[in-house]
Amino acid sequence: MKITPLKILQILVYIGLMMGLVLMMSPEEINVFGTTVRVPTLSDVLPESLIVENEEIEIIDEEYIDEDSLTVDMTSVDEASTWVPIEEKPLSVRTPKGAVAIEYPNNDMSALDNFFKGLTSISDEGELVRVLHYGDSQLEGDRMTERLRKNLQEQFGGCGVGLVPIIELKNMRTTLDQTYSDNWEQFLCFGPKKYRGKHNDYGFFGKYFTYEGTEATLLFEKAPYSKTAHKNFEAFKVYMRNTVANVKLDYKMNGAEGEAKEIEASSEAKAVTLPISGTLGELELKFKSDVSPEVYGVSFDCNNGIAVDNIPMRGSSGTDFTKIRKEHLSSLLENMEVKLLVLQFGVNVVPQEAKSYNYYERLIVRQLKYFKEVAPELNVLIIGVSDMAKKNGSKIESYSNIDAVRAAERRAANKMGAAYWDLYLAMGGKNSIVKWADKKPAWAGKDYTHFTRKGANYIGDMLYNELMREYQRYKNRDESELETK
């Protein structure tokens, strides 16, 4: 029989199909004479780009499929005339298996009281309470923060995705799409020194942004999986400083164009409010000036309720905040009603194995002292480092130094009066990241460090639950104190 190239191709295709069928039908593990042998699966063979995670498929449900409102309010909102005090919703606190409680510094139960007082002010006075959730690459894409925000807004009201930077790394955020003209440049207080700015007046994200030339554009759009709460907003602000030249800001949402905003030059950082509200379809901003302003970001919020901001700092160990000038950050935070600062770092520290982490403890203490000077009334919650694993011989095992890193974070929190939540224990402790990565669908990636959306949502639910448990205790304590007076 003559062998032709076509016949060879047919044979190869046949073999490929048969191997794929075997991989799909084979069990993940088989036992041979007492020894467990792992059988390769499609996820081991196919390139990552071709694997569709179940977690992404299950996002698409009726909650996400709705008609977009094209209503654009181009008039200022008088908050005082529209707010009516409302009764706070009853709390429903679950106690899942393996729940880990928030720890208070030296048993000081008041460490989160300012945040909890802020929550009561939402229903009593119509306040907007803000939570800044800082972290490393573990938070990128609005992971974990999105679920915490969802739960808090369902309980206390609020809408929008909060603070958003001008440039989002690889447009990873699933709750909002954004694009920008290619003349934007960012300067960072963390990461490689080549990205440092000419001064240390960085913004919320540890960054400030400028553009080359005389104009630049930004475009924000709903993301494919945006929920209604992500798209709806009542207040939109641009945070910036234009020291040298006046700035003209044009804006257009869902096809409706607003009256251009003229912003006079000033040495002070400012929040520029644009009369835009409604349901986001597409929002375009255009900056025009002789010299670029320094822009720190924008915000999509409600007028009252709770705002939870996702602020990932890729590559940072959480020890870079002191590189931001205190007076500058304090002026940015002024009048923003920030009640809680969540610091979630450590995945960049663990791989740098050391005999002692006293240095890390000292650096965290320094950051916490810094925030006490920037915003004295701010409550701080430190989230301990998550489990991480690496190859040890033929096994994948947790890093042996995680206990030491956790201990350093806990000691720093105790010294500086910050609350602490042990994420490592909440995950299940040693080698939990390996179990999470092996779940179907996976809760963690095969780098044995970062969570998938599924795992991040689970953690967001756990953190919300513990915060609400402590909030209920605060309310019980507050009522008891009133009764004794």
Q: What is the pLDDT of residue 185?
A: 96
Question: pLDDT band at residue 5, thresholds of 50, 70 and 90?
Answer: low
What mean pLDDT value characterizes the chain?
A: 85
Of 303, 328, 354, the one marking the end of a domain is 303
Q: How far does Cα 325 stand from its chain's mean position?
A: 23
In a domain, 432, yes or no: yes
* pLDDT for position 116: 97
Do 332 and 288 share a domain, yes or no?
no
Q: Which of 303, 319, 351 is the last residue of a domain?
A: 303
Count of domains forming the chain: 2
Residues 6 or more apart whose Cβ sits within 8 Å of residue 480 = none
Q: Are residues 352 and 472 in the same domain?
A: yes
Q: How many CB atoms lie within 10 A of CB 473?
A: 14
- Whole-angstrom Cα distance, residue 485 to residue 471? 21
Residue 144 sits in the same domain as residue 210? no
Residue with tokens 């008891």: 480
Q: Per the domain annotation, does 57 fall within a domain?
A: no
> Which is more confidently placed, 50 or 458?
458
- For residues 217 and 123, membership in a common domain is answered with no
Answer yes or no: are the C-beta atoms of 141 and 173 closer than 8 Å: yes
Q: 379 falls in which pLDDT band (50, 70, 90)?
A: very high
Whether residue 375 has pLDDT greater than 50: yes
Q: Is residue 417 part of a domain?
A: yes
SS3 call for 165: coil
Q: Based on the domain organization, do 267 and 363 belong to the same domain?
A: no
Query: Angle CA(151)–CA(152)–CA(155) in degrees, nearest 5?
Result: 90
CA distance 428 to 284: 45
CATH of the domain at 363: 3.40.50.1110
Q: How far apart are CA 342 and CA 382, in angstroms?
A: 6
Confidence at 73, pLDDT banded by 50, 70, 90: very low
Contact 396, 434 (CB under 8 A): yes
Contact 431, 389 (CB under 8 A): yes
What is the predicted pLDDT for the residue at 374? 96
- Two structure tokens written together for 391: 């190859």
E strand or H helix that includes residue 106: none
Does residue 399 sit within a domain?
A: yes
Confidence of residue 67 (pLDDT cuts 50, 70, 90): very low
Q: On the CB side of 375, how many CA atoms lie within 13 Å of its CA?
A: 23
Q: Give all strands (DSSP E) within 359-482, no chain letters.
A: 379-383, 389-392, 395-398, 419-421
Residues 409-434: what's their mean pLDDT? Answer: 97
Nearest to 459 by CA among 57, 223, 139: 139
451 - beta bridge partners?
A: 444
Q: Is 43 a domain residue? A: no
Whether residue 397 is found in the same domain as residue 427: yes
Give yes or no: residues 472 and 332 share one domain. Answer: yes
Among 31-40, 358-367, 406-415, 430-439, which stretch is predicted with the lowest mean pLDDT? Answer: 31-40
Residue 10 falls inside a structural domain: no
Please count the other Cβ atoms lying within 10 Å of the Cβ belonging to residue 73.
14
Full domain range(s) for residue 410: 99-155+305-485
Same domain, 209 and 349: no
Task: Note whether 480 and 358 are same-domain residues.
Answer: yes
Determine if residue 5 is left, alpha or beta; phi over 0 gives left, psi from -120 to 50 gives alpha, anything else beta.
alpha
Paired tokens of 205: 């994200």
Q: Residue 173 has what pLDDT?
A: 83
Indicate the residue among 272, 303, 334 that finishes a domain. 303
Residue 88 lies in a domain: no
Q: Structure tokens of 481?
A: 């104190």
d(Cα 134, Cα 217) in Å, to the nearest integer? 27
For residues 343-354, give the mean pLDDT: 94
Q: CA neighbours within 13 Å on the CB side: how many for 3?
A: 3
Q: Which amino acid is at 408?
A: A
Same structural domain, 359 and 485: yes
Q: Which CATH number do you get for residue 193?
A: 2.60.120.260
Report the distance separating Cα 354 and Cα 317, nearest Å.
Answer: 15
Q: Do 195 and 251 reside in the same domain of the chain?
A: yes
Which tokens is 247 given?
Answer: 């700035």
pLDDT digits 0-9 by tens, 187-207: 999 988 889 999 999 999 999
Whether 117 is in a domain gets the answer yes
Tokens of 43: 């996820």
Q: What is the pLDDT of residues 15-33, one digit of tens each?
A: 766 666 555 555 544 444 4
Model-level pTM? 0.81
Distance CA 21, CA 440 (A): 19
Please report the pLDDT score of residue 280 as a whole number: 93
Q: What is the mean pLDDT of residues 409-416?
A: 97
Name the β-bridge partners of 399.
none
Q: What are phi and psi of 301, to 5 degrees?
A: -135, 170
Query: Do 342 and 459 belong together in one domain?
Result: yes
